[in-house]
Amino acid sequence: MDKKAKLWSGRFKEGTNILAEEMNASISFDKRLFRQDIRGSIIHAMTLQRAGALKKNEASKLIKGLRAVEKEISSGKFVFTPGMEDIHMAIEKRLIEKIGRLGGKLHTGRSRNDQVALDERLYLKDEIVSILALIKEFQKTVFEIARKHVDTIMPGYTHLQRAQPVLLAHHLLAYFEMLKRDFDRFSDCLKRVDVMPLGSGALVGSPYNLDRHFTAKTLGFSSVTENSIDAVSDRDFALEFLASSAILMTHVSRLSEELILWSSQEFGFVELSDAFSTGSSIMPQKKNPDIAELGRGKAGRVYGNLVSLLVVMKGLPLAYNKDMQEDKEPIFDTVDTVKSILKVFPVMLKTMKVKKDKMRKATAEGFLTATDAADYLVKKGLPFRKAHEAIGRIVVDCVKKGKTLEDLAFKEWKGFSNLFEKDILRAIRVESSVNARKIYGGTAKATVVKRLKKVEDELKKG
Protein backbone atom coordinates (compact mmCIF):
# COMPACT_ATOMS: atom_id res chain seq x y z
CA MET A 1 0.00 0.00 0.00
CA ASP A 2 1.36 3.43 -0.93
CA LYS A 3 2.10 5.18 2.37
CA LYS A 4 1.19 8.51 0.80
CA ALA A 5 -2.42 7.30 0.53
CA LYS A 6 -2.71 7.62 4.31
CA LEU A 7 -3.52 11.01 5.77
CA TRP A 8 -1.25 10.22 8.74
CA SER A 9 1.67 8.77 6.73
CA GLY A 10 4.22 11.58 7.22
CA ARG A 11 6.16 9.78 9.95
CA PHE A 12 6.28 6.42 8.13
CA LYS A 13 8.87 5.12 5.63
CA GLU A 14 6.91 2.02 4.60
CA GLY A 15 3.34 1.40 3.57
CA THR A 16 1.00 -0.70 5.68
CA ASN A 17 1.16 -4.46 5.16
CA ILE A 18 -1.99 -5.59 3.38
CA LEU A 19 -2.85 -8.08 6.15
CA ALA A 20 -2.34 -5.45 8.83
CA GLU A 21 -4.41 -3.01 6.82
CA GLU A 22 -7.31 -5.44 6.60
CA MET A 23 -7.20 -6.08 10.34
CA ASN A 24 -6.85 -2.40 11.16
CA ALA A 25 -9.69 -1.22 8.95
CA SER A 26 -13.12 -0.63 10.46
CA ILE A 27 -14.69 0.96 7.39
CA SER A 28 -16.71 -2.19 6.64
CA PHE A 29 -18.86 -1.60 9.72
CA ASP A 30 -18.33 1.96 10.94
CA LYS A 31 -19.45 3.38 7.60
CA ARG A 32 -22.94 3.38 9.06
CA LEU A 33 -21.81 6.33 11.19
CA PHE A 34 -21.36 8.56 8.13
CA ARG A 35 -24.32 10.82 8.91
CA GLN A 36 -23.17 11.37 12.49
CA ASP A 37 -19.57 11.91 11.36
CA ILE A 38 -20.54 14.51 8.77
CA ARG A 39 -22.93 16.22 11.14
CA GLY A 40 -20.18 16.49 13.75
CA SER A 41 -17.71 17.75 11.13
CA ILE A 42 -20.09 20.47 9.95
CA ILE A 43 -20.52 21.79 13.48
CA HIS A 44 -16.78 21.45 14.10
CA ALA A 45 -16.17 23.68 11.06
CA MET A 46 -18.56 26.26 12.53
CA THR A 47 -16.74 26.05 15.89
CA LEU A 48 -13.37 26.49 14.17
CA GLN A 49 -14.70 29.61 12.47
CA ARG A 50 -15.88 31.02 15.81
CA ALA A 51 -12.41 30.33 17.22
CA GLY A 52 -10.75 32.19 14.33
CA ALA A 53 -9.08 29.03 13.01
CA LEU A 54 -11.13 29.23 9.80
CA LYS A 55 -12.31 32.15 7.72
CA LYS A 56 -16.03 32.40 7.04
CA ASN A 57 -15.67 31.49 3.38
CA GLU A 58 -13.43 28.52 4.30
CA ALA A 59 -15.99 27.17 6.76
CA SER A 60 -18.75 27.61 4.18
CA LYS A 61 -16.76 25.75 1.55
CA LEU A 62 -15.98 22.92 3.97
CA ILE A 63 -19.62 22.59 4.96
CA LYS A 64 -20.75 22.59 1.34
CA GLY A 65 -18.16 19.93 0.53
CA LEU A 66 -19.22 17.78 3.49
CA ARG A 67 -22.84 17.89 2.38
CA ALA A 68 -21.79 16.87 -1.11
CA VAL A 69 -19.91 13.88 0.33
CA GLU A 70 -22.95 12.95 2.42
CA LYS A 71 -25.09 13.05 -0.70
CA GLU A 72 -22.66 10.72 -2.49
CA ILE A 73 -22.74 8.20 0.35
CA SER A 74 -26.53 8.40 0.77
CA SER A 75 -27.09 7.78 -2.94
CA GLY A 76 -24.78 4.75 -2.94
CA LYS A 77 -22.32 6.34 -5.38
CA PHE A 78 -19.51 6.37 -2.81
CA VAL A 79 -17.37 3.22 -2.98
CA PHE A 80 -15.86 2.10 0.33
CA THR A 81 -12.55 0.18 0.36
CA PRO A 82 -10.43 -1.25 3.22
CA GLY A 83 -7.67 1.22 2.34
CA MET A 84 -9.89 4.03 3.59
CA GLU A 85 -9.32 2.65 7.09
CA ASP A 86 -12.39 4.12 8.80
CA ILE A 87 -15.36 6.38 8.11
CA HIS A 88 -13.57 9.46 9.47
CA MET A 89 -10.60 9.11 7.13
CA ALA A 90 -12.82 8.12 4.20
CA ILE A 91 -14.91 11.26 4.49
CA GLU A 92 -11.92 13.54 5.04
CA LYS A 93 -10.01 12.02 2.10
CA ARG A 94 -13.01 12.42 -0.20
CA LEU A 95 -13.53 15.99 1.02
CA ILE A 96 -9.93 16.86 0.09
CA GLU A 97 -10.46 15.30 -3.32
CA LYS A 98 -13.55 17.44 -3.86
CA ILE A 99 -12.44 20.85 -2.51
CA GLY A 100 -8.65 20.60 -2.47
CA ARG A 101 -6.14 21.41 0.27
CA LEU A 102 -8.72 23.32 2.29
CA GLY A 103 -10.24 19.95 3.22
CA GLY A 104 -7.10 19.25 5.23
CA LYS A 105 -8.00 22.08 7.61
CA LEU A 106 -11.12 20.33 8.85
CA HIS A 107 -9.20 18.15 11.30
CA THR A 108 -7.72 21.17 13.04
CA GLY A 109 -8.21 20.96 16.80
CA ARG A 110 -9.59 17.44 16.93
CA SER A 111 -8.50 13.79 16.90
CA ARG A 112 -10.16 10.66 15.68
CA ASN A 113 -10.36 9.79 19.37
CA ASP A 114 -12.85 12.52 20.24
CA GLN A 115 -14.38 12.30 16.78
CA VAL A 116 -15.41 8.64 17.16
CA ALA A 117 -16.64 9.22 20.71
CA LEU A 118 -18.85 11.98 19.32
CA ASP A 119 -20.14 9.83 16.45
CA GLU A 120 -21.04 6.96 18.77
CA ARG A 121 -22.86 9.23 21.19
CA LEU A 122 -24.80 10.88 18.37
CA TYR A 123 -25.67 7.45 16.98
CA LEU A 124 -26.81 6.04 20.31
CA LYS A 125 -28.85 9.13 21.08
CA ASP A 126 -30.86 8.60 17.91
CA GLU A 127 -31.20 4.85 18.41
CA ILE A 128 -32.24 5.08 22.07
CA VAL A 129 -35.02 7.48 21.12
CA SER A 130 -36.20 4.94 18.52
CA ILE A 131 -35.99 2.07 21.02
CA LEU A 132 -37.96 4.04 23.61
CA ALA A 133 -40.76 4.56 21.08
CA LEU A 134 -40.78 0.84 20.25
CA ILE A 135 -40.89 -0.16 23.94
CA LYS A 136 -43.86 2.16 24.41
CA GLU A 137 -45.70 0.43 21.53
CA PHE A 138 -44.87 -2.95 23.08
CA GLN A 139 -46.35 -1.75 26.38
CA LYS A 140 -49.50 -0.58 24.61
CA THR A 141 -49.93 -3.99 23.00
CA VAL A 142 -49.53 -5.82 26.31
CA PHE A 143 -52.03 -3.43 27.91
CA GLU A 144 -54.59 -3.91 25.12
CA ILE A 145 -54.44 -7.71 25.37
CA ALA A 146 -54.57 -7.61 29.17
CA ARG A 147 -57.66 -5.38 29.07
CA LYS A 148 -59.46 -8.00 26.97
CA HIS A 149 -58.74 -10.73 29.50
CA VAL A 150 -59.80 -9.40 32.90
CA ASP A 151 -62.14 -12.41 33.19
CA THR A 152 -59.75 -15.04 31.81
CA ILE A 153 -58.41 -17.26 34.59
CA MET A 154 -55.30 -19.37 34.15
CA PRO A 155 -52.95 -21.34 36.37
CA GLY A 156 -50.14 -19.32 37.88
CA TYR A 157 -46.86 -21.21 38.08
CA THR A 158 -43.85 -21.53 40.32
CA HIS A 159 -41.07 -24.01 39.48
CA LEU A 160 -43.12 -24.56 36.27
CA GLN A 161 -45.67 -26.37 38.44
CA ARG A 162 -49.26 -25.17 38.76
CA ALA A 163 -49.45 -23.01 41.85
CA GLN A 164 -52.47 -20.70 42.24
CA PRO A 165 -55.18 -19.29 39.97
CA VAL A 166 -54.42 -15.91 38.40
CA LEU A 167 -56.03 -13.62 35.88
CA LEU A 168 -54.35 -13.68 32.48
CA ALA A 169 -54.58 -9.88 32.57
CA HIS A 170 -52.55 -9.83 35.79
CA HIS A 171 -49.97 -12.20 34.32
CA LEU A 172 -49.57 -10.04 31.20
CA LEU A 173 -49.32 -6.85 33.25
CA ALA A 174 -46.23 -8.33 34.89
CA TYR A 175 -44.55 -7.92 31.51
CA PHE A 176 -45.91 -4.39 31.27
CA GLU A 177 -44.10 -3.57 34.52
CA MET A 178 -40.88 -5.11 33.22
CA LEU A 179 -41.11 -3.08 30.03
CA LYS A 180 -41.82 0.02 32.08
CA ARG A 181 -38.55 -0.47 33.95
CA ASP A 182 -36.79 -1.13 30.65
CA PHE A 183 -38.15 2.17 29.36
CA ASP A 184 -36.85 3.92 32.48
CA ARG A 185 -33.44 2.29 32.13
CA PHE A 186 -32.99 3.42 28.53
CA SER A 187 -34.28 6.89 29.43
CA ASP A 188 -31.73 7.10 32.21
CA CYS A 189 -28.98 5.74 29.97
CA LEU A 190 -29.78 8.49 27.48
CA LYS A 191 -28.77 11.09 30.06
CA ARG A 192 -25.23 9.73 30.15
CA VAL A 193 -25.03 9.25 26.39
CA ASP A 194 -26.15 12.87 25.92
CA VAL A 195 -22.75 14.38 26.79
CA MET A 196 -20.56 16.05 24.14
CA PRO A 197 -16.87 14.91 23.95
CA LEU A 198 -15.58 16.89 20.94
CA GLY A 199 -12.73 19.22 21.81
CA SER A 200 -11.01 16.60 23.97
CA GLY A 201 -8.49 15.89 21.20
CA ALA A 202 -6.46 12.72 21.43
CA LEU A 203 -6.45 12.87 25.25
CA VAL A 204 -5.41 16.28 26.65
CA GLY A 205 -7.80 18.69 24.96
CA SER A 206 -7.35 21.16 22.11
CA PRO A 207 -4.95 24.13 22.05
CA TYR A 208 -7.47 26.08 19.97
CA ASN A 209 -10.04 28.32 21.60
CA LEU A 210 -12.96 26.06 20.72
CA ASP A 211 -16.32 26.94 22.24
CA ARG A 212 -17.31 23.44 23.31
CA HIS A 213 -20.59 24.61 24.78
CA PHE A 214 -21.54 26.13 21.42
CA THR A 215 -20.66 22.82 19.74
CA ALA A 216 -22.73 20.87 22.27
CA LYS A 217 -25.75 23.15 21.96
CA THR A 218 -25.64 23.16 18.16
CA LEU A 219 -25.36 19.36 18.05
CA GLY A 220 -28.24 19.01 20.52
CA PHE A 221 -26.27 17.75 23.54
CA SER A 222 -27.37 18.58 27.07
CA SER A 223 -23.88 18.87 28.53
CA VAL A 224 -20.14 18.71 27.83
CA THR A 225 -17.58 16.19 29.11
CA GLU A 226 -15.51 17.51 32.02
CA ASN A 227 -12.30 15.54 31.53
CA SER A 228 -10.57 15.11 28.17
CA ILE A 229 -8.98 11.76 29.10
CA ASP A 230 -12.25 10.31 30.33
CA ALA A 231 -14.06 11.62 27.25
CA VAL A 232 -11.97 9.64 24.78
CA SER A 233 -11.00 6.57 26.81
CA ASP A 234 -14.21 5.26 28.35
CA ARG A 235 -17.20 3.54 26.82
CA ASP A 236 -19.35 3.15 29.90
CA PHE A 237 -22.18 4.92 28.08
CA ALA A 238 -22.07 2.14 25.49
CA LEU A 239 -21.79 -0.55 28.17
CA GLU A 240 -24.82 0.89 29.91
CA PHE A 241 -26.74 0.78 26.65
CA LEU A 242 -25.71 -2.85 26.13
CA ALA A 243 -26.63 -3.71 29.73
CA SER A 244 -30.06 -2.09 29.36
CA SER A 245 -30.52 -4.02 26.13
CA ALA A 246 -29.50 -7.29 27.81
CA ILE A 247 -32.05 -6.79 30.59
CA LEU A 248 -34.74 -5.95 28.04
CA MET A 249 -33.89 -9.09 26.10
CA THR A 250 -34.12 -11.12 29.31
CA HIS A 251 -37.73 -10.02 29.59
CA VAL A 252 -38.33 -10.76 25.91
CA SER A 253 -36.77 -14.19 26.34
CA ARG A 254 -38.96 -15.06 29.32
CA LEU A 255 -42.08 -14.01 27.42
CA SER A 256 -40.84 -16.03 24.44
CA GLU A 257 -40.40 -19.10 26.62
CA GLU A 258 -43.97 -18.81 27.89
CA LEU A 259 -45.36 -18.38 24.39
CA ILE A 260 -43.44 -21.46 23.29
CA LEU A 261 -44.75 -23.51 26.21
CA TRP A 262 -48.29 -22.17 25.99
CA SER A 263 -48.54 -22.92 22.27
CA SER A 264 -47.47 -26.55 22.75
CA GLN A 265 -50.09 -29.31 22.73
CA GLU A 266 -49.16 -30.08 26.32
CA PHE A 267 -50.38 -26.62 27.41
CA GLY A 268 -52.59 -25.49 24.55
CA PHE A 269 -53.22 -22.08 26.14
CA VAL A 270 -52.55 -20.03 22.99
CA GLU A 271 -52.19 -20.44 19.27
CA LEU A 272 -49.75 -18.23 17.40
CA SER A 273 -50.79 -16.94 14.01
CA ASP A 274 -49.58 -18.82 10.94
CA ALA A 275 -47.91 -15.55 9.94
CA PHE A 276 -45.54 -15.88 12.89
CA SER A 277 -44.97 -19.63 12.74
CA THR A 278 -43.14 -21.99 10.40
CA GLY A 279 -43.49 -25.58 9.30
CA SER A 280 -41.20 -28.58 9.24
CA SER A 281 -39.22 -29.71 6.21
CA ILE A 282 -40.12 -33.34 6.99
CA MET A 283 -43.16 -33.41 9.31
CA PRO A 284 -46.28 -32.01 7.58
CA GLN A 285 -48.27 -31.58 10.80
CA LYS A 286 -45.79 -29.25 12.53
CA LYS A 287 -46.44 -25.60 13.39
CA ASN A 288 -43.34 -24.22 15.04
CA PRO A 289 -43.15 -21.00 17.12
CA ASP A 290 -39.94 -19.93 15.40
CA ILE A 291 -40.30 -16.17 15.97
CA ALA A 292 -40.74 -16.68 19.70
CA GLU A 293 -37.79 -19.08 19.68
CA LEU A 294 -35.66 -16.50 17.88
CA GLY A 295 -36.66 -13.92 20.48
CA ARG A 296 -35.38 -16.31 23.13
CA GLY A 297 -32.24 -17.14 21.16
CA LYS A 298 -31.28 -13.58 20.29
CA ALA A 299 -31.13 -12.72 23.99
CA GLY A 300 -27.91 -14.73 24.16
CA ARG A 301 -26.53 -12.76 21.25
CA VAL A 302 -27.12 -9.46 23.08
CA TYR A 303 -25.60 -10.86 26.30
CA GLY A 304 -22.53 -11.80 24.26
CA ASN A 305 -22.22 -8.25 22.94
CA LEU A 306 -22.26 -6.87 26.48
CA VAL A 307 -19.68 -9.35 27.74
CA SER A 308 -17.53 -8.75 24.65
CA LEU A 309 -17.22 -5.02 25.30
CA LEU A 310 -16.76 -5.51 29.05
CA VAL A 311 -13.81 -7.78 28.35
CA VAL A 312 -12.37 -5.33 25.81
CA MET A 313 -12.49 -2.45 28.27
CA LYS A 314 -11.52 -4.16 31.52
CA GLY A 315 -7.73 -4.03 31.13
CA LEU A 316 -7.11 -0.90 29.09
CA PRO A 317 -4.81 1.81 30.46
CA LEU A 318 -5.84 5.41 29.86
CA ALA A 319 -6.37 6.89 27.37
CA TYR A 320 -7.46 5.57 23.95
CA ASN A 321 -6.33 2.15 22.73
CA LYS A 322 -7.03 0.50 19.38
CA ASP A 323 -8.83 -2.31 21.22
CA MET A 324 -11.70 0.13 21.55
CA GLN A 325 -12.40 -0.20 17.84
CA GLU A 326 -14.08 -3.45 18.88
CA ASP A 327 -16.91 -1.49 20.52
CA LYS A 328 -18.81 -0.69 17.34
CA GLU A 329 -19.91 -4.10 16.09
CA PRO A 330 -21.45 -5.12 19.45
CA ILE A 331 -23.28 -1.79 19.58
CA PHE A 332 -24.53 -2.00 16.00
CA ASP A 333 -25.57 -5.64 16.31
CA THR A 334 -27.41 -4.96 19.57
CA VAL A 335 -29.27 -1.99 18.10
CA ASP A 336 -30.33 -4.05 15.08
CA THR A 337 -31.33 -7.07 17.18
CA VAL A 338 -33.31 -5.14 19.78
CA LYS A 339 -35.15 -3.03 17.23
CA SER A 340 -36.10 -6.04 15.09
CA ILE A 341 -37.48 -7.87 18.15
CA LEU A 342 -39.42 -4.84 19.38
CA LYS A 343 -40.99 -4.40 15.96
CA VAL A 344 -42.15 -7.98 15.48
CA PHE A 345 -43.29 -9.03 18.96
CA PRO A 346 -46.22 -6.61 19.37
CA VAL A 347 -47.65 -7.68 16.00
CA MET A 348 -47.21 -11.35 16.89
CA LEU A 349 -49.00 -10.85 20.21
CA LYS A 350 -51.90 -9.00 18.60
CA THR A 351 -52.54 -11.91 16.24
CA MET A 352 -52.24 -14.57 18.96
CA LYS A 353 -55.37 -16.56 19.83
CA VAL A 354 -55.98 -17.12 23.56
CA LYS A 355 -57.76 -20.37 24.43
CA LYS A 356 -59.72 -19.30 27.51
CA ASP A 357 -61.48 -22.63 28.06
CA LYS A 358 -58.21 -24.56 28.06
CA MET A 359 -56.74 -22.15 30.60
CA ARG A 360 -59.80 -22.36 32.83
CA LYS A 361 -59.84 -26.15 32.67
CA ALA A 362 -56.18 -26.28 33.68
CA THR A 363 -56.93 -24.33 36.86
CA ALA A 364 -59.34 -27.03 38.01
CA GLU A 365 -56.51 -29.57 38.07
CA GLY A 366 -53.54 -29.62 40.40
CA PHE A 367 -55.19 -28.39 43.63
CA LEU A 368 -54.54 -24.71 42.86
CA THR A 369 -56.89 -23.55 45.63
CA ALA A 370 -55.21 -25.59 48.37
CA THR A 371 -53.77 -22.41 49.89
CA ASP A 372 -57.28 -20.95 50.01
CA ALA A 373 -58.43 -23.99 51.97
CA ALA A 374 -55.55 -23.49 54.39
CA ASP A 375 -56.40 -19.78 54.72
CA TYR A 376 -60.00 -20.81 55.47
CA LEU A 377 -58.80 -22.82 58.49
CA VAL A 378 -56.55 -19.94 59.60
CA LYS A 379 -59.57 -17.65 59.67
CA LYS A 380 -61.22 -20.25 61.92
CA GLY A 381 -58.35 -19.89 64.39
CA LEU A 382 -55.98 -22.68 63.36
CA PRO A 383 -52.26 -21.68 63.14
CA PHE A 384 -51.13 -21.55 59.50
CA ARG A 385 -48.59 -24.37 59.85
CA LYS A 386 -51.29 -26.68 61.26
CA ALA A 387 -53.69 -25.60 58.54
CA HIS A 388 -50.99 -26.22 55.89
CA GLU A 389 -50.44 -29.73 57.26
CA ALA A 390 -54.18 -30.50 57.37
CA ILE A 391 -54.79 -29.46 53.76
CA GLY A 392 -51.69 -31.39 52.70
CA ARG A 393 -53.31 -34.55 54.06
CA ILE A 394 -56.54 -33.76 52.20
CA VAL A 395 -54.57 -33.34 48.95
CA VAL A 396 -52.85 -36.71 49.48
CA ASP A 397 -56.27 -38.34 49.99
CA CYS A 398 -57.63 -36.68 46.84
CA VAL A 399 -54.66 -37.86 44.77
CA LYS A 400 -55.22 -41.39 46.06
CA LYS A 401 -58.91 -41.26 45.11
CA GLY A 402 -58.42 -39.39 41.82
CA LYS A 403 -60.42 -36.37 42.98
CA THR A 404 -59.95 -32.60 42.92
CA LEU A 405 -60.75 -30.30 45.84
CA GLU A 406 -63.88 -29.17 44.01
CA ASP A 407 -64.99 -32.82 43.75
CA LEU A 408 -65.20 -33.16 47.53
CA ALA A 409 -68.68 -33.00 49.05
CA PHE A 410 -69.20 -30.96 52.20
CA LYS A 411 -69.56 -34.17 54.21
CA GLU A 412 -66.05 -35.18 53.14
CA TRP A 413 -64.63 -31.80 54.15
CA LYS A 414 -66.32 -32.14 57.53
CA GLY A 415 -64.75 -35.54 57.91
CA PHE A 416 -61.31 -33.98 57.78
CA SER A 417 -62.07 -31.17 60.27
CA ASN A 418 -65.02 -29.86 62.26
CA LEU A 419 -63.82 -26.33 61.47
CA PHE A 420 -65.14 -26.63 57.91
CA GLU A 421 -68.56 -25.13 57.23
CA LYS A 422 -70.53 -25.17 53.99
CA ASP A 423 -68.89 -21.98 52.79
CA ILE A 424 -65.68 -23.98 52.22
CA LEU A 425 -67.25 -25.10 48.93
CA ARG A 426 -67.33 -21.48 47.78
CA ALA A 427 -63.92 -20.61 49.24
CA ILE A 428 -62.09 -23.22 47.16
CA ARG A 429 -63.69 -22.16 43.87
CA VAL A 430 -61.20 -20.74 41.38
CA GLU A 431 -63.07 -17.44 41.01
CA SER A 432 -63.20 -17.01 44.79
CA SER A 433 -59.47 -17.65 45.03
CA VAL A 434 -58.68 -15.00 42.43
CA ASN A 435 -60.98 -12.36 43.85
CA ALA A 436 -59.78 -12.95 47.42
CA ARG A 437 -56.46 -11.35 46.39
CA LYS A 438 -57.73 -7.77 46.67
CA ILE A 439 -54.48 -6.57 48.17
CA TYR A 440 -52.74 -3.75 46.27
CA GLY A 441 -50.83 -5.40 43.44
CA GLY A 442 -52.85 -8.62 43.69
CA THR A 443 -54.73 -10.59 41.04
CA ALA A 444 -58.33 -9.85 42.10
CA LYS A 445 -60.38 -8.55 39.20
CA ALA A 446 -61.22 -5.30 41.00
CA THR A 447 -57.54 -4.69 41.70
CA VAL A 448 -56.47 -5.52 38.14
CA VAL A 449 -59.15 -3.26 36.67
CA LYS A 450 -57.88 -0.38 38.81
CA ARG A 451 -54.33 -1.04 37.64
CA LEU A 452 -55.44 -1.15 34.01
CA LYS A 453 -57.03 2.27 34.43
CA LYS A 454 -53.79 3.68 35.84
CA VAL A 455 -51.81 2.08 33.02
CA GLU A 456 -54.18 3.57 30.47
CA ASP A 457 -53.66 7.02 31.99
CA GLU A 458 -49.87 6.51 31.98
CA LEU A 459 -49.89 5.56 28.32
CA LYS A 460 -52.02 8.54 27.38
CA LYS A 461 -49.54 10.86 29.09
CA GLY A 462 -46.75 9.30 27.07
| Active site residue ranges | 159, 280
Beta carbons of 255 and 295 less than 8 angstroms apart:
yes
Q: What CA–CA distances, in Å, run from 455 to 112, 166, 449?
A: 46, 19, 10
Q: What is the 3-state secondary structure (H, E, C) of the chain?
A: CCHHHCCCHHHCCCCCCHHHHHHHCCHHHHHHHHHHHHHHHHHHHHHHHHCCCCCHHHHHHHHHHHHHHHHHHHHCCCCCCHHHCCHHHHHHHHHHHHHHHHHHHCCCCCCHHHHHHHHHHHHHHHHHHHHHHHHHHHHHHHHHHHHHCCCCEEEEEECCEEEEEEEHHHHHHHHHHHHHHHHHHHHHHHHHHCEECCCCCCCCCCCCCCCHHHHHHHHCCCEECCCHHHHHHCCHHHHHHHHHHHHHHHHHHHHHHHHHHHCCCCCCCEECCHHHCECCCCCCCCCECHHHHHHHHHHHHHHHHHHHHHHHHCCCCCCCCHHHHHHHHHHHHHHHHHHHHHHHHHHHHHCCEECHHHHHHHHCCCCCCHHHHHHHHHHCCCCHHHHHHHHHHHHHHHHHHCCCHHHCCHHHHHHHCCCCCCCHHHHCCHHHHHHCCCCCCCCCHHHHHHHHHHHHHHHHHC
Taking residue 303's Cβ as centre, other Cβ atoms within 10 Å add up to: 18
